[in-house]
Amino acid sequence: MADPIAAALKVEHLHVRFAERAVFEDISFELAAHSTLAIIGASGCGKTTLLRSIAGLITANRGRVMLDKQTIDQLPVHQRGVVYLNQEPLLFPHLTLFDNVAFGLRLRCLSPAVIRERTGKLLARLGLDGLRERYPHALSGGERQRAAFGRALAVDPKLLLLDEPFTNLDPDTRTGMQSLFKEVSREQAITSLFVTHDLKECLRIGDRFAILSNGTLALYEDKQTFSEDPRSGVSTEMQFWRELIDKNSGK
């Protein structure tokens, strides 16, 4: 378990059910500040529901969510300080890339000079500086995802929830985005939950790991213990590659 004093996020006995079906029951975990918990699970296992219930986009039937020692269950979505990044790189179609990234800052009524400076720095860091006047329809999938990521970072969230954000990208762009996320989240000391169904992405992104399956969450403190559990699929994956290498070298 993470050190409770340093834990930024604390989820206790979270329970969500839709109609008669329980998506998950009694999920509890803690996440240390400035770290990333990568959650892996099959499609439909409740990964998105878990993130959405923490963000307040759906109401949990039971349980408690604490962020920086404050219970946030009863807070409306806009007061939680939790940004939820969708699988789709959603940008506001009526705004330029610059205005999209500055969207959250404008909501906080910051001065135009501060908004310009902060947004400018982020765009430069994300390699989007030359595209600031472009509208979303004129951007590639990777550029849109970087812009959506930048917009989330701009508001300095207490917790960032990423719901398979790189799924729709081509392999090269995806790898690039994973590296960028890793670098930027380290630089900006981001606390995040990263949901994916891709094992390699999970291993690349996470500081800690979890498997969501059959309504329960199994937690792993490091890559080693995660990889050793057959449920993670790491051993199966490794066996596949070993067999392939052996087969090729046998030829």
Which one of the spans 62-70, 102-110, 122-130, 202-210 is the region binding another protein (CB under 8 A)? 102-110
Q: In what order do the strands lie in the sheet with 7-18?
A: 21-32, 7-18, 62-67, 70-71
Least distance to another protein, CB of residue 62, Å: 22
Which of 41, 63, 104, 165 touches another protein (CB under 8 A)? 104
Cβ-based nearer residue to another protein, 148 or 234: 148
Which one of the spans 32-40, 60-68, 77-85, 238-246 is the region binding another protein (CB under 8 A)? 77-85
The token pair that represents 164 in the structure block = 């398979």
Which one of the spans 1-9, 21-29, 105-113, 240-248 is the region binding another protein (CB under 8 A)? 105-113
The backbone torsions φ and ψ at residue 198, rounded to the nearest 5 degrees and listed phi first, read -100, 120
Which of 25, 26, 88, 198 touches another protein (CB under 8 A)? 88
- 83 contacts another protein (rule: CB under 8 A): yes
How many residues of this chain bind another protein (CB under 8 A)? 28
Cβ-based nearer residue to another protein, 30 or 99: 99
Cβ-based nearer residue to another protein, 2 or 153: 153
- 131 contacts another protein (rule: CB under 8 A): no
- 111 contacts another protein (rule: CB under 8 A): no
Which of 10, 47, 80, 158 touches another protein (CB under 8 A)? 80
Which of 22, 33, 75, 90 touches another protein (CB under 8 A)? 90
- 114 contacts another protein (rule: CB under 8 A): no
The backbone torsions φ and ψ at residue 32, rounded to the nearest 5 degrees and listed phi first, read -70, 150
Which one of the spans 103-111, 120-128, 218-226, 234-242 is the region binding another protein (CB under 8 A)? 103-111
- 155 contacts another protein (rule: CB under 8 A): yes
**Residues 7-66, interacting with another protein (CB under 8 A):** 55, 57
Q: How far apart are CA 99 and CA 174, in angstroms?
A: 24
- 110 contacts another protein (rule: CB under 8 A): no
Q: Is 227 helix (H, G, I), strand (E, B) or coil?
A: helix
The backbone torsions φ and ψ at residue 6, rounded to the nearest 5 degrees and listed phi first, read -85, -5
Residue with tokens 């004129």: 138
Q: Running DSSP on this structure, what letter comes out for residue 167?
A: T
Bridge-partner residues for 194, per DSSP?
38, 162
Of 77, 48, 62, 83, nearest to 17 (Cα)? 62
Q: From residue 119, how far is each of 13, 84, 99, 188 by CA, in Å?
A: 38, 19, 9, 14
Q: From residue 190, how far is each of 14, 62, 84, 194 by CA, in Å?
A: 23, 27, 13, 12
Least distance to another protein, CB of residue 89, Å: 11
